[in-house]
Every structure is written in C-alpha cells, then in structure tokens.
C-alpha cells in the first residue's frame, strides 16, 4: 500500500488535574499511547508530564497494553499529561474475514479448551436481568443464529434503542441500570453489550481509544467500544454508540476484560485536597 492511499491524523490530548492544596503523587499508570493495528501505523508519539516524574518506564500490563508507569517526588498542586500522536491510516474493510472452524458461524458455539483458558476473563459471566437476556435472545432469533449477523444486528439495535449521552468521568453504569434507563455514555452501552455477549458464551472485552468522524464543530472525547473474539478473525470491534463494526477511524489505546484497566490515568495521591479534572482533545487530518 503506497502512502498516497493513507490518511494522516494528529491527535492532541491534554489532561490536567488541579488540586486545591499541595499533594504527593503516588505512582501512576498512564494509558494514552495509540495501538498499532493492521490498518493504523503510529508514526510519532510524544508525552509531556508535569511535574516531571522522578522515574518513567514504558511497560506492558497483564493484557499486553503499553502503559507509561511514572513515579514522583515532592509536592504539587497540579498534574498535567499532554500527548501528541501522529497516525497513518490505511484503507480497511471490516468485513474482510471468515470465521473458522465452521461451527463458529452458528450460535451458540463452543471455543476449544485452550481458547477457553486463554479467554477466561473475557468470558466471565456476571448476573444480568432476564429482560436484558431476552433482548439479546430475540435478536439472536431474528438473525437466524448467524454469528456475524447477530453481533452486527445487536450493535445496530443498541444504537437505535438507546440514547447516547456524554459523561466525562466515573465508571460505567451497571448493565441493568443502562438497560432500564435506555440511555448512557459510550462506556455504559459497551459495558452492557459486553455482559450480554458473555451470557451468550461470546468472549468480549472493553476498549478505550479515540474515534474520528467529520463534524461541523469538532468536539472530541475519549471513546469506548467492544471487541469480541471470533476464531478466524480474532478480536472484532463493535461500536454500539454508533451501531457499526469498528473501522480505520477507531484508534484503540487499551483493551481489557475489566474497564478499570483501560482508564487513561490510574493512581492515587497523599493529601486531603479535592481535585478538578480539565481535558481537551483535538483530532485533525493533516
């Protein structure tokens, strides 16, 4: 693929924690590095952290996400993390795959024993309401139990049936609460879809990252979506907030069976201060 067929994106992400009195920063895990994919090359990445860490190490976590691990010294009233990413994106067809072996095409299917062990955390089932289970069961019948038709239909139906709203911080709502409210943030809808899919024996995990689409007045924020593991294609992305399979405008950062392991900033403080979070995200074609 020649560069003439590529699109280049620049992502500027500024995150600022302001404290009303001085605090000591405990070690922090930072997840801001876009992940390369078959259609996304990370050309450049720069991170500026203030106060400057005493130590800074790039590591891989338990689920192979690349994480910046930082530790600090001294007192501060502010933590700033500013990143600039440059990505080169190639054309991509999200339907260019087959499922293998053949039985994976029909629901319910069974992973082999080794896959079950490796996918254990992404298959972990938590109780959800019968109403949510029935919602998925009816859609499965409507798709004639075809795996790809079902995950595509479920993703589209969640977009059609639920109102997407922005909520800057906080963990995802419980799947049952989101289902009852019929509204939620991108992470609420994703967390609900994950737990429904797991109930049906489909390995599913949470993904955080960026999503670009053209708009008159650009206003971007961190985005969340779902990945399901289907033998033959691997981890397939589903975006219930937009009702689509993920494409080359979805830029993943971290994925995990547990949403906590995808949070951009994880770490504590020593002190009694209250904090204010201010974020700014700009994504542009260059």
How many Cβ atoms are within 10 Å of 52's Cβ, its own excluded?
11
According to CATH, the topology of domain 3-90+264-285 is Immunoglobulin-like (2.60.40)
**Do residues 124 and 205 touch, judged by C-beta distance below 8 A?**
no
Q: Where along the chain do the CATH 2.60.40 domains lie?
A: 3-90+264-285
Tell me the torsion sign for CA atoms 191, 195, 196, 200: positive
**Do residues 133 and 192 touch, judged by C-beta distance below 8 A?**
no
Q: How far, in Å, CA of 272 to CA of 269, rounded?
A: 9
pLDDT of residue 168: 74
pLDDT of residue 217: 73
According to CATH, the topology of domain 102-247 is C8orf32 fold (3.10.620)
Per-residue pLDDT tens digits of the chain, which is 286 residues long: 444 579 999 999 999 999 999 999 999 999 999 999 999 999 999 999 999 999 999 999 999 999 999 999 999 999 999 999 999 999 999 889 999 999 999 999 999 999 999 999 999 999 999 999 999 999 999 999 999 999 999 999 999 999 999 887 789 999 999 999 999 999 999 999 999 999 999 999 999 999 998 877 767 999 999 999 999 999 999 999 999 999 999 999 999 999 999 999 999 999 999 999 999 999 999 9
Q: What is the pLDDT of residues 24-47, one digit of tens each?
A: 999 999 999 999 999 999 999 999
**Residue-by-residue DSSP string for 11-51:** EEEEEEEEEEEEEEEEEEEE--PPPPBTTEEEEEEEEEEES
Q: Where along the chain do the CATH 3.10.620.30 domains lie?
A: 102-247
Q: How far, in Å, CA of 8 to CA of 133, rounded?
A: 41
pLDDT of residue 4: 52
């Amino acid at each position: 693929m020649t560069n003439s067929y590529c699109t280049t994106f620049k992502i500027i992400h500024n995150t600022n924690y302001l404290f009303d009195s001085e605090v000591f920063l405990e070690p922090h895990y930072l997840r801001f590095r876009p992940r390369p994919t078959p259609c996304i090359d990370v050309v450049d990445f720069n991170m500026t952290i203030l106060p400057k860490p005493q130590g800074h190490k790039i590591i891989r976590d338990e689920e192979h996400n690349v994480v910046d691990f930082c530790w600090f010294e001294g007192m501060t009233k502010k933590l700033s993390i500013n990143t600039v990413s440059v990505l080169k994106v190639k054309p991509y067809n999200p339907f260019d795959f087959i499922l293998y072996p053949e039985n994976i095409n029909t629901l319910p299917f069974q992973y082999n024993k080794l896959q079950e062990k490796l996918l254990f955390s992404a298959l972990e089932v938590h109780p959800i309401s019968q109403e949510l289970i029935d919602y998925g069961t009816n859609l499965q019948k409507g798709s004639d139990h075809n795996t790809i038709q079902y995950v595509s239909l479920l993703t589209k139906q969640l977009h059609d049936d639920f109102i997407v709203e922005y909520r800057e911080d906080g963990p995802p709502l419980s799947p049952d609460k989101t289902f009852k409210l019929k509204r939620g943030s991108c992470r609420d809808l994703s967390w609900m879809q994950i737990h429904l899919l797991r109930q049906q024996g489909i390995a599913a995990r949470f993904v955080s990252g960026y999503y670009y689409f053209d708009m008159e007045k650009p206003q971007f924020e961190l985005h969340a979506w779902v990945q399901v593991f289907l033998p033959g294609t691997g981890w397939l992305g589903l975006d219930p907030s937009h009702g689509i399979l993920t494409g080359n405008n979805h830029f993943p950062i971290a994925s995990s069976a547990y949403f906590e392991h995808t949070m951009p900033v994880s770490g504590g403080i020593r002190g009694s201060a209250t904090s204010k979070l201010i974020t700014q995200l700009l994504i542009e074609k260059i």
